[in-house]
Structure 1
Amino acid sequence: MNTLEVKAISAGYDKHIILHEVSFKVEPGEIVGLIGPNGAGKTTIIKSILGIIPLTHGEITIGAVNIKLSPQQVKGEMAYIPENPLLYDELTLLEHLEFTAMSHGMDKKIFENRKNYLLKLFHLEDKLHHFPNSFSKGMRQKVMIMCAFLYDPSIYIVDEPFVGLDPKATRSFTTFLLQKKEAGAGILMCTHVLDAAEKICDRFIFFNQGKVVTTGTLRDLRKESNLEDGSLNDIYDKLVEEE
């Protein structure tokens, strides 16, 4: 598994710079929470990592590979779970899974085993031949999660994963995310659900106005904020909202 490293990047839209010299790492086997208010630039960070927005400064690497210089080489190293599910209306659930497996050259036996496990985990066995137009927002989100969890990338980019998921699906998602972490994947998770992030993230990046405010473990952030027993919400309010 490889490290995702964001090295002093600046980026934006139409000459309007949103990110200012942003640097951080996501190491193998850890979940890093990207935490910040709306409009802070978190979406721009994600789009920069995915290669959607060009950088005006700095670089992003996965392992030793620069994603700008070798985009095809890192394609299979990342999986992205967006906040708003992006599905093909003309493909069934099964066809979405098959298309994902084919795109990443998965072994057929491994695909079948993992497909069956994920269908059971997310309770979608009876929806295998249904089309997305019959799915609720939560079901569509489950399909996106299943497609991302089918194969074994080094890095997961997860944007607001708890939106639309019921409590049972949230537990299933969290369980499998932790399994991926234990298998060595690095996970960057952007979320406003700070109580959930506090439970599963190893480190946090507090982000505001296009800049990293601070980064560290919960213990580090408690020390920095002088909140010895503070929750992540309390620490965030002190270090970011009162900035």
Structure 2
Amino acid sequence: MAEVLKLEKVSGGYTKSETIIHDVTFSVEPGEWVGLLGPNGAGKSTIMNVLLGQLAYIEGEVVLPAPEKLAFIPEHPLFFDDLTLHEHIEFLKAVTGLEGTAVDVETDRLLSLFRLSEKRHHYPASFSKGMQQKLMILLALLMRPDLYIIDEPFIGLDPKAMKDLLRELETRRQEGAGILMSTHVLDTAEKICGRFLLLNEGRLIAEGPLVDIQKKSGLDGSLLDCFEQLMEHGR
């Protein structure tokens, strides 16, 4: 089955002399949930920027779905100050072609699930960080894309919202969507991701399911234990 995301020998940075990631190769297949892990400054955000086309310098091959088949959930919520929550949803429908009774039913379900129904006609600028993050999640889920790219999704979420997000994403994964998720919450990543990418100093130093990460680290422990071992020894 063809990958929904592929990077082949990708290097990137803000200029050619400021390369942050080096010769990175990996892919995400349909129905796969991949965790992108690494310490601060490892290059995770740079990879996200590569995927979003936001870097001035990129070399190598990047293969992505069409824009309407890709949803991005950013670490820092992005929204229009002069649009209400409802108007954000209507804008998404207009630019992606979403329409019909099923979309309206799904919209109402997600608004209720993330406890945003009462905020439908309010402006997101007045929301808490967690509520703004829920809006980003709701818009991404409404798209039902082939690929979700998610950057630190748990920041600001209450435990129920975090549980609901994970349940929804797992359903989408089972339906065939690919998921690439950057996170520092390694205990959660260990439970939900089928494969891991470990970055250090802009290079991919380990990848695979937990058993492969354990083998690479020389430990038969948790993902966190293996991560710390690999980071300490720079393997």
* Length-normalised TM-score, structure 1: 0.92
| Cα distance in 2, alignment partners of residues 143 and 79 from structure 1 | 13
User: What SS does the aligned partner of 1:222 have?
Assistant: helix
2:144 to 142, 145, 152: 152
Per the alignment, residue 125 of structure 1 pairs with 117
**1:212-227 superposed matches below 5 A:** 212-227=204-219
CA distance in 2, matches of 1:56, 1:126: 44
Q: What do residues 137-174 of structure 1 show as CA deviations (whole Å, max 9, x unaligned)?
A: 00000000001110121111100000000001100111
Displacement after TM superposition at 1:238 (Å): 0.7
Tell me the equivalent position of 2:80. 88
Query: Over aligned residues, Cα RMSD in angstroms?
Result: 1.3
Of the structure 1 ranges 165-174 and 110-119, higher mean CA displacement relative to structure 2 is found in: 110-119
Secondary structure, aligned partner of 2:24: strand
Cα deviation for residue 23 of structure 1 reads 0.4
Match of 1:206 in 2: 198
Distance 1:240 1:156 in 2: 27
Match of 2:61 among 54, 59, 78: 59
User: What TM-score do you get using the length of structure 2 for normalisation?
Assistant: 0.95
- Residue 71 of structure 1 aligns with which residue? none
The percent identity for this pair of structures is: 48
- Name the CA distance, whole Å, in 2 between partners of 1:177 and 1:216: 20
**1:143 aligned partner:** 135
Q: Are 1:23 and 2:14 matched, yes or no? A: no
Distance 1:157 1:176 in 2: 15
Distance 1:116 1:241 in 2: 47
Question: What is the aligned counterpart of 1:107 among 99, 109, 114?
Answer: 99
- Whether 1:235 and 2:226 are equivalent positions in the alignment is yes
- For 1:25, what is the secondary structure of its paired residue? strand
Matched, 1:169 2:170: no
- 8 Å contact kept, 1:26–1:188: yes
Gaps of 5+ in 2: none
Residue 70 of structure 1 corresponds to which residue in structure 2? none
Q: Contact between 1:78 and 1:154, CA under 8 Å: does it hold in 2?
A: yes
1:50, CA displacement in angstroms?
1.0
1:170-221 deviations in whole A, cap 9, x for unaligned?
0011110101101101100000010111111010000011110110101221
What does the per-residue CA deviation read over 1:106-128, in whole Å, with 9 as the maximum and x for residues that have no partner?
12223201101101110111111
Q: Which amino acid aligns with 2:23?
A: E
* Mapped contact 2:3–2:27 kept (Cα < 8 A): no
Q: Is the 8 A contact 2:30 2:177 kept in 1?
A: yes
Structure 1 position 179 matched with structure 2 position 168: no
**Could you tell me how far apart the structure 2 residues matched to 1:56 and 1:43 are?**
14
The aligned counterpart of 1:10 is 11
Number of residue pairs matched by the alignment: 232
Whether the aligned pair in 2 keeps the contact of 1:9 and 1:55 (CA below 8 Å) is: no
Change (3 A) 1:153 1:29: same
Aligned residue identity for 2:178: G
Q: Give the secondary-structure state (helix, strand or coil) at the position aligned to 1:5.
A: strand
Match of 1:67 in 2: none
Judge conservation of contact 2:21–2:43 (CA < 8 Å) in 1. yes
State the shift of 1:103 in Å.
Answer: 1.2
Matched, 1:134 2:126: yes
Deviations 1:9-53 (CA, angstroms, capped at 9, x unpaired): 111113311111110001100110000011111111111111111
Q: Distance in 2 between matches of 1:110 and 1:140?
A: 24
The 1:132/1:56 distance shift into structure 2, 3 A limit, reads: closer
Structure-2 change in CA distance of 1:99 and 1:232 (3 Å):
same
